[in-house]
Amino acid sequence: MSESTLFIHAKAASEMSPKDLELLVTRAMPFGMHKGKIIADLPGNYLNWFARKGFPAGEIGRLLALMQEIDHNGLSAILTPLRQRTGKFPGRSD
């Protein structure tokens, strides 16, 4: 991982708010091969692809970077309480 990529990851993590965690389990991917899928449900290899190629600008890029960090570090379970509160679980399309 390049120094600039590490900076982007550190910046994304430092700008994270508690609301961002809720957005991970409620916001759908707006484009691409996984369009419509909840960000927290995106496959790790897709998130890693963005980490290698560059995250998009704006909120969606910040959320994808945050989810990639969570997934890469094996911390996806921290989203379980938010999923329970929102009722958004992997594989459900309500």
State the pTM of this model: 0.77
The mean predicted confidence, pLDDT, of the chain is 84
Q: The domain containing residue 17 runs over which residues?
A: 3-86
CA distances for 49 relative to 37, 40, 72, 84, angstroms: 16, 15, 12, 28
Residue 94 lies inside a defined structural domain of this protein: no
d(CA 20, CA 3): 25
Confirm whether 66 is domain-assigned. Answer: yes
Does residue 39 sit within a domain?
yes
What pLDDT is recorded for position 12? 53
Q: Is residue 75 part of a domain?
A: yes
For residues 34 and 81, what is the distance between their CA atoms, to the nearest angstrom? 24
CA Rg value for the chain: 13
Distances (CA, A) of 79 to 27, 44, 87: 13, 15, 12
Does residue 92 lie within any of the structural domains? no
Domain-embedded: residue 93: no
Which one is predicted more confidently, 4 or 48?
48
pLDDT reported for residue 83: 86
Top pLDDT among 69 and 90 is at: 69
Query: Domains in the chain: how many in total?
Result: 1
Token representation of residue 90 = 């992997």
- Predicted local confidence at residue 84, as pLDDT: 83
Q: Of 18-22, 40-44, 86-90, give the lowest mean pLDDT range.
A: 86-90
Which residue has better confidence, 84 or 7?
84
